[in-house]
Structure 1
Amino acid sequence: MEVMLKEILGELKNINGRLDNMDNRLDNMDKRLDSLEQGQKEIRHDLAELKVNHFDLKKDLVDNFGVFNKSMEELIENRTNVLNTRVYSTEVAIEKIRNQ
């Protein structure tokens, strides 16, 4: 009977050791899961930030292209006016030469 109790006690200690091992593994799994959840939160935060920055970038590009386009229109108009003035001056000079 005493031998049987020692065997049962040995088995219980073995089971207890295996349960401790399982507890350790579960603790490690919990830590890894917490780490994954934290990483997922950071990714969500970064994604939200990227969406905001993407929107701002699109808005800035549209605004800057508008300014650039306006500047180009003014430059083209100024150069066209200068060219028209030169053409007119040349036409007047040619007309004077013809009339001589």
Structure 2
Amino acid sequence: MQRGSEFAPYLVGLAMVGLGLAARRVEPDLLSLPEPSETRKRLRDVRTGRDAARVTRDGIASFIPANLTKSMGRTLIIMGAALVAVRALDELVDDDGADY
């Protein structure tokens, strides 16, 4: 193993956590998604194609995040922390046969 490459996973993991924290603080309007409407219609109450699109949009908007950068940031934080934790635990185990 090259000198310094043993610290690369830690640096990458910490960089992922840092990027994730930055992404959660930034909320560009470009990635903001519509909020569901206050009056919720059911699919069987639909009369036009526009109503069907609105009901579908509101159904999807009810379970997705309001801004995609928060979701991506949370994912980066979790993955970065997991990478650092796995590498730290791998050092404690000192298993020469680890493939990750």
Fold-level match, TM-score > 0.5?
A: no
- Greater share of residues in helix: 1
- The TM-score with structure 2 as length reference comes to 0.31
- The TM-score with structure 1 as length reference comes to 0.31
Structure number, greater radius of gyration:
1
Task: Flag the structure with more relative contact order, 1 or 2, with Cα contacts below 8 A and sequence separation at least 6.
Answer: 2
